[in-house]
Amino acid sequence: MDGVNEIGRGPLQEQTFYEQVGGEETFRRLVHRFYEEVAKDPLLRPMYPEEDLGPAEERLVLFLMQYWGGPRTYSEQRGHPRLRMRHVPFTVDRAAHDAWLRHMRTALDELGLSEEHEATLWKYLTYAAATMINSPG
């Protein structure tokens, strides 16, 4: 029954990464835990001018969900991600990069994903963090 679902009604739909890792709940847990760490970080916290980190948390959740095959809410609300452009007002140097990844690693480790899913997500996060660097040092 290659390529056909169990009752023979058409091609199998491959699950997106978003679906494979548990959908919205997983991304909300990841990002919430990440921002718990950001809130305590003397280097990263000042990059968020809002007193409440909730709006930033929501933006990152929506972005990651969309990137990994979930709802397109991020683009519907904010347009094209333009991540580098959106980060230009902030000094993102190697220290900020390292702090961001350290907190994301903490959050990712607590999700309990399969090794394969964790490696896939971590590879993307390290790539994304590296592309945000906009200042030497």
Could you read off the pLDDT of 23-82 as tens digits, one per residue?
A: 999 999 999 999 999 999 999 999 888 788 999 999 999 999 999 999 999 887 776 656
Is residue 9 included in any domain, yes or no? Answer: no
- What whole-number distance in Å separates Cα of residue 70 and Cα of residue 46? 30
Q: What is the pLDDT of residue 8?
A: 43
CATH of the domain at 49: 1.10.490.10
Q: How many residues does the chain have?
A: 137
Print the domain residue range for 65.
17-132
70 C-beta neighbours (distance < 10 Å), count: 20
Helices (H) and strands (E) in the chain, counts: 7, 0
Overall domain count for the chain: 1
- What whole-number distance in Å separates Cα of residue 99 and Cα of residue 53? 17
